[in-house]
Amino acid sequence: MQNAYLLTGSNLGNRVAYLRQAIQLIQQFCGNVMSVSGLYQTAAWGLADQPDFYNQVIELETALEPATLMQSLLAIETQLGRIRTIKMGPRTIDIDILLFGSQVINTNLLTVPHPFLPVRRFALMPLAEIAPAVVHPVLQKTVLQMLADCPDQLNVHKITPATNNETLVANS
């Protein structure tokens, strides 16, 4: 079993419902959801002219190999109505693998650690909430150190608290 950290985001439709459904499907098909960060509201990064995103980070314990996990996450995105038309455009759901244990992966399908993690405040803030001491396997910095060094000045606003596995199971 490996721990993976996933970033989920939504900026179309009922964003909270899409994020909740993503957690349920990840739990069903990918492994044991150990904890979930609070919900963060963020202006769009990259392509700014679109609705704000809700983002959160999921800590997942999984027996899946990284490529298989990525394929499962892409299938979940499709199931939740994700249509890829504009790069960085609006979406019902987006699920990225930020970290997968201490593995470094660079394939056509997957790059882990996520290449933009150190420069995206909207990913680092929720990750720091549930995994502040986790070390980036390439940069050898903790999540808190990366957040302190992050050049991104995008406004990221926390709107709900984190939940742990016991709370998630009780609310299922």
Domain layout of the chain by residue ranges: 2-165
Which are the catalytic amino acids?
A: 82, 91, 94, 96
Going by C-beta distance under 8 Å and a sequence separation of 6 or more, which residues neighbour residue 147? 121, 124, 125, 128
Model pLDDT for residues 74-115, shown as the tens digit of each residue: 999 999 988 877 777 789 999 999 999 999 999 998 999 999
Separation in Å, CA 118 to CA 8, 121, 139, 152, 167: 17, 8, 9, 9, 29
Q: How confident is the model at residue 165 (pLDDT cuts 50, 70, 90)?
A: low
Chain position carrying tokens 């709107």: 159
Model pLDDT for residues 47-72, shown as the tens digit of each residue: 778 899 999 999 999 999 999 999 99
| Of the candidates 89, 88, 94, 153, the residue with the CA atom closest to the CA atom of residue 119 | 153
DSSP assignment of 131-172 equals -TTPBPTTT--BHHHHHHH------EEE-S--EEHHHHHHT-
Tell me, what's the pLDDT at 15? 95
Tell me, what's the pLDDT at 164? 67
What CATH superfamily classification does 2-165 receive? 7,8-Dihydro-6-hydroxymethylpterin-pyrophosphokinase HPPK (3.30.70.560)
Calculate mean pLDDT across residues 104-133: 97
The pLDDT > 90 percentage for the chain reads: 79
